[in-house]
Amino acid sequence: MTTTIIGVLAAFAVLVLTVELLRRRALREKYAVIWLVVSLVAVVFTVFPGLLLRVSQRLGFQIPANFVFAIAALVLLVVGMQLSLEVGRLEDRSQRLAEEVGLLRHDIEQLRRELAGSAPTEPVELSHAAARDDRDDRAADDDGDAGGSASG
């Protein structure tokens, strides 16, 4: 009897934890579904132990525990796969972001140097760029000073 109570409590604990994490938005829905299903099924089977016995016998398992183990292994396999996929995607994205950050940093440095070094006298090749430069002359000068002190 005590084992049944422990089982029911454990199953409920997982269910409550999952719902609470979801409520706090700490757990994303796409990872939560599988844990919700697992904890719900666990609650049902611990509250009605006879059900587990019948289902496992119907499926041809000699011992109900083996049925539980088999299902558990399968669930963990799926979860592990899903996490591997997600980690791979995240890795790829963070790597691409790192490359972009590097390229952007390079562009910023170059712009700062250009503004600091040759803002007033450099001939401007593009007519619309020239108009823009004139309009933003003050701002460009300010930025140039800031850039100069930062990179110098």
Partner 1 sequence: MSGAHRPWTRDALDSALVEQGHGGRALVVVPAWNEAEALPAVLVELSSKIPGVDVLVVDDGSTDGTADLVRRSGTASVVSLPFNVGVGGAMRAGFLYAERNGYRAVVQCDADGQHDPADIARLLAELDAGLDVVIGARFAGVGTYQVGGFRRIAMKFLASSLSRITGTRLTDVTSGFRASSARAVAVFAREYPPEYLGDTIESLVVARRAGLSIGQLPVELRERQGGTPSQSSFKSVIYLGRAVLVLGLAVLHRGAGKDDA
What residues line the site for partner 1 (CB under 8 A)?
Answer: 92, 95, 98-103, 105-107, 109-111, 113-114, 117, 125-126, 129
- 97 Cβ contact list (under 8 Å, min separation 6): none
Minimum Å gap between C-beta 105 and partner 1 is 6
The two three-digit tokens of residue 111, written as one number: 């712009």
Determine contact, residues 98/130, Cβ cutoff 8 Å: no
Nearest distance from C-beta of residue 100 to partner 1, angstroms: 8
Give the three-state DSSP class for 2: helix
| CB 120 to partner 1: min, Å | 16
Q: Whole-number minimum distance, CB 23 to partner 1, in Å?
A: 34
For residue 116, the tally of other CB atoms under 10 A from its CB is: 19
Query: Alpha-carbon Rg of the chain, whole angstroms?
Result: 31
Q: Is 42 exposed, middle or buried (0-12, 13-18, 19+ CB in 10 A)?
A: buried
